Structure 1
């Protein structure tokens, strides 16, 4: 519900104060196919060195109103468990691959701005400071 309300394509549990290693997604791939689901205890599968990368605009509900260009693997795979504890393997291309990488990063304590150059990170933080978030920030009590 939090992801849909914020009109995001993915959301990690720790973004909303839930201490579980799980993320949800509702995201199209590069062919427009919609992928909906959840991954518990996700692990990015190492990709070969020759994997194509794609630079794209990236934003985050944890860094509201800020966007920056960031290079990510064009295709990626995540393993983990589904909501019932069964093994799951999810792979995606394009925006969906970016989503899988972005949400797994969250669960490993990393924001997309941590992957930016110092100058680009400063610009993203400036954007956030100068903008009004689309949604009110609600403290977790």
Structure 2
């Protein structure tokens, strides 16, 4: 299939909540393959479908502990109360990183391309990825959840940079 170009902040598809995948078709299979091809590039941990211009609830991951995969219709079913504070970046906000608070642990469930239930769960980068990618599918960017003073700085840098 193919590595697809990443949509950048300002593209309306990034701010539109994605529709659920209702049936698995050849188009769905191509989307999943494109998501996995696109995430299989150096420095990429996750890609949401809307980041490649498709408004469907799907994201791919490329994580050391979990390999490369894709989940359709992911729903976060568990978040820890314990929080992690770390810099976060996004392919759709290229080259900029800002401190973002996320739960230390996250678990999501959904289906794979065969329609079988799957789960992605973990701590650290896995938890951050789950929360980040599901937010994309809800039409949100990571900068939306930044602390007020950091968000102001981030928006200024985005305007100056992009």
TM-score, normalised via structure 2 length: 0.70
* Cross-structure match for 2:150: 120
Rounded Cα–Cα distance in structure 1 between residues aligned with 2:156 and 2:95? 10
How many residues end up aligned between the 2 structures? 126
Q: Which runs of 5+ in 2 are unaligned?
A: 1-36
Q: Verify the 8 A CA contact 1:65 1:127 in the aligned structure 2.
A: no
TM-score, normalised via structure 1 length: 0.80
Q: Verify the 8 A CA contact 1:22 1:42 in the aligned structure 2.
A: yes
Q: Which runs of 5+ in 1 are unaligned?
A: 133-141
- C-alpha RMSD of the superposition: 1.8
Rounded Cα–Cα distance in structure 2 between residues aligned with 1:24 and 1:47? 20
Q: Which has the higher helix share?
A: 2
Q: Which has the higher strand share?
A: 1
Deviation >6 Å, runs of 4+: none
Q: Aligned match of 1:11 in 40, 47, 53?
A: 47
* Cross-structure match for 2:116: 86
